[in-house]
Amino acid sequence: MENTAYIVAPRRDHTQTIILLHGRDSIASEFAEEFFESQASDDRTLLEIFPTTRWVFPTSKIRNSARFNVPMSQWFDIWSVENHLEKNEIQIDGLRESVKEILDLIRTEATLISPDRIILGGISQGCATAIHTLLYGGIQLGGFIGLSSWLPFEPEITTTMADNMTWRIVENRLHYSHKMLNIPTDQAETTSILSDLSSTFVLKTPVFLSHSQDDDVVPIANGKKLSTTLEELGMVVSWKQYKDGGHWVNEPQGVDDIVSFIRVVESSSTKK
């Protein structure tokens, strides 16, 4: 089992980096290979459309599943993907560890290219982990891409937005309370380092979310709630839903929409 990131180097001069997290019970190389098989309406793949992109696919640790009592590749343990609120206390340890790992990865990638040219995202549990990483990290990236996912601890987030306990907005920057994930001090230092890389704010990171109505793994209602919550936080979200596509990327329209989003991010970073 691989335990390092699967990286596809740019074919030409490096202009942007896209970090994508795989789903539960998958690995980086497997996700990357399948992802690059998805085609846009012109029959090209994302790898062909964006030759100057550095693609980074991290791999999660092997963690024991409390429900099935077997070890499996997962960013955090979860009792029910359909109902992510059930026994959600088992999610905390893995989510805390994975957020730290991805923040460290972003910090490394930010030494190669500026944060406004980095897009973070993932599919399913990978997206769920990535969105917590983005919000906790408190840094504006070029963009965020989320596929077929949900927002862990969404009730805690939405109920504390008003009373200012879990979320604090200071000078237009979202601060993610250390209490929810109980992040150790060394991660708080990592977050500070990341924040120093950008003079802008995490809430300005543009977000692309997509979900198919026939997804039989993660209900589309979970994806819609993720979109709504991020909008309530003040983020600009491009929400796309499709009639079919299952628990994956819709083809070809879904791929076209991802391409359009990445093009906008590229254009925005070029103007800075």
Q: What does the pLDDT look like over 211-261, one tens digit per residue? A: 999 999 999 999 999 999 899 888 999 999 999 999 999 999 999 999 999
Pairing mode, strands 118-123 and 16-21: parallel
User: Could you tell me the two tokens for 83?
Assistant: 């109902």
Q: Return the closest-CA partner of residue 126 out of 5, 242, 251.
A: 5
* Gap between the Cα atoms of 209 and 146, Å rounded: 5
Model pTM score: 0.87
By the 8 A CB rule, do 20 and 11 touch?
no
271 phi, psi to nearest 5 deg: -75, -15
pLDDT higher for 55 or 272? 55
Residue 201 has a CB neighbour count (10 Å cut-off) of: 17
* Gap between the Cα atoms of 77 and 67, Å rounded: 9
pLDDT mean over 153-179: 52
| Predicted pLDDT at 68 | 82
Share of the chain above pLDDT 70, in %: 79
Helix 92-109 × helix 125-137 angle, to 10°: 70
Helices marked H in 38-143? 46-49, 92-109, 125-137
* Gap between the Cα atoms of 29 and 16, Å rounded: 20
User: Could you tell me the two tokens for 205?
Assistant: 């990171």
* Gap between the Cα atoms of 235 and 51, Å rounded: 29
Report residue 155's pLDDT band, with 50, 70 and 90 as the boundaries. Answer: low
